[in-house]
Structure 1
Amino acid sequence: MTTQKLRIVVMNGQKIIQSLVNNEWETTGTIKKVEEGIKPGIYNIYLAKQPSDKKRYEGKIVYIDRENAVFYQQTGKDFIVHRLNAVDGKPVAGTDIIIEYDGEKAHLTQMDLHKKTRTIRI
């Protein structure tokens, strides 16, 4: 795992990856089109936590770092960093997924947002 501090800045349909160098954010790589489903904002993925065994994580994949073989999932206000080789599926940035851990291995399930219903009382 890299100890480099990374964040993603998303705006105007574009995303840039930035790393902290000498207390300043510098753009690394090129500006790319953002995946569908990722909202504009600043994603401080360097704050991501390691997943726990027997735990379930629901949320959107915001970034896949193939170089370091990890991907980042936003769960509420937090970020979880998962190892690509720990999951039994192929994560896609911008999709909502459920990841359930059983030891070192994790099961990846696509979330069906249409099944999530809310009851509104008037």
Structure 2
Amino acid sequence: MNGQKILQTQNNNEWETIGTIKKVDEGIKPGVYNIYLAKTPSDKNQYEGQIIHIDKENAIFYQQVKKDFIVHQLKATYGKPVAGKDVAIQYDGEKSTLTLIDALKNKRTLKI
């Protein structure tokens, strides 16, 4: 996508571009992210993964956890999400706490 981010929605069986075409956030790999398949989080769970998109208009943000996507509420989260960053989100009831994860600490190395 030439380093560009395009948001699309399906309308009458056709894909329609919504919003403006923007430069992709640093840290996000090029590709197609099907965030329309995002699931809502369950209480008392922790989610670790990268923040893919922040939708300020709808007060939500999307996180990729392994191959799944989770949609979180901005108003219910303590901490500021940044697109492209790896975070852990811990739920306690309807409120959640966001913590940055050091990606280098989580990488596995193989010595030869």
The TM-score by the shorter chain falls in which range? over 0.9
Secondary structure class of the residue paired with 2:84: coil
Question: What letter is aligned with 1:66?
Answer: K
Which residue pairs with 2:4 in the alignment? 14
Partner amino acid, structure 2, of 1:87: T
Give the C-alpha shift of residue 116 in structure 1. 1.7
Over aligned residue pairs, what C-alpha RMSD do you find?
1.2
Separation of aligned partners in 1, 2:75 and 2:81 = 11
CA spacing shift, 1:116–1:24, aligned 2, 3 Å: same
Alignment partner, residue 110 of structure 1: 100
Identity %, equivalent residues: 69
Does residue 89 of structure 2 align to residue 99 of structure 1?
yes
Structure 1 counterpart SS, 2:75: helix
Structure 1: which 4+ aligned runs deviate by more than 3 Å? Answer: none
* 2:36 aligned counterpart, secondary structure: helix
Which segments of 5 or more consecutive residues in structure 2 lack a partner in the other structure? none
Partner of 1:42: 32
Letter in 1 for 2:21: I
Cα deviation digits, residues 8-45 of structure 1 (max 9, x gap)? xxx21100000101111111111100000111111111
Tell me the alpha carbon deviations over residues 80-116 of structure 1, each in whole angstroms, 9 at most, x when there is no partner. 0000011100101111100010101101000111212
Normalising by structure 2, we get a TM-score of: 0.94
**Taking structure 1 as the reference length, what is the TM-score of the superposition?**
0.87
Shift of 1:120: 2.8
Q: Which string of whole-angstrom CA distances, capped at 9 and with x for unpartnered residues, describes residues 43-63 of structure 1?
A: 111100000111010111111
Structure 1 gap segments, 5+ residues each: 1-10
SS at match of 1:114: helix
Question: When the two structures are aligned, how many residues end up with a matched partner?
Answer: 112
